[in-house]
Amino acid sequence: MARYVVTGASSGIGREIALQLAFGGHSVIALGRDRHRLEELALQNRRIETHALDVRDRDGLIAWTSELAKSEAIDGLINNAAIQHNIRFDDPRYGIDEIVAEVETNLLAPILLSRLLLSGRSGQPFVIVNVGSALASYPKTTSAVYSATKAGLRMFSDALAVQNHATPVRSVDVVLPLVDTAMTAGRGRGKIRATDAASAIVSALAPGKGRIHVGKTKLLRLLQLIAPPAAAAIIRKL
């Protein structure tokens, strides 16, 4: 069985990913900011190891991955942690700190963590799963920065795939619809469950995957091909 790092594992989709991997026989290193929730998660399965760490803490990431390199090898990384401010870019309540938090959490942290965990693993198999969104294709009327970070994360996945096409390093972009989590509370309809989103993300670890569309995003993919304006109109209303 494999050993995976999962970010944003203290709640929501990340928690479900960690549990599904562990109950599937894999070893999991669950990262999150909420130490108490992580402790509760670790009690659910002995295969789950937790580490309280904010992925925006650059020095913390470097120190932790340095220590991790001394232990058993890591087989993959699931970049799940994300922040979304559902607000217009020009709203006075949306300040510089909120913008920086979204960019650092959603885009910079996955890039840095991928680089740190790949360091020294030349020629060894490794899979990076980036949890993306339909907003990477079309923005909505709010969440401009979130949409931009998910578009950047998709391009990062594609760039890794191009650079590593002749190596055992794989990258996968998982395109999620609206998921029923604390982040989406009070908005949207037809959400999928966090457990279902997690199942799709775990399936992305299988060989041969490149980009996975989940739930209603499969229809969005079709609309992108035959009626792009219709696809864009649907996303704007989310």
List residues with catalytic annotation. 146
Where does residue 16 rank: exposed (0-12), middle (13-18), buried (19+ CB within 10 A)? buried
Whole-number Å distance between alpha carbons of 226 and 229: 9
Q: For the chain, first and last CA: distance in Å?
A: 39
As given in the structure block, the two tokens for residue 135 are 């907003």
Q: Which residues of 127-154 are buried (b: 16+ CB within 10 A; e: fewer)?
A: bbbbbbbbbbbbbbebbbbbbbbbbbbb
How many residues in the chain? 238
| 68 beta partners | none
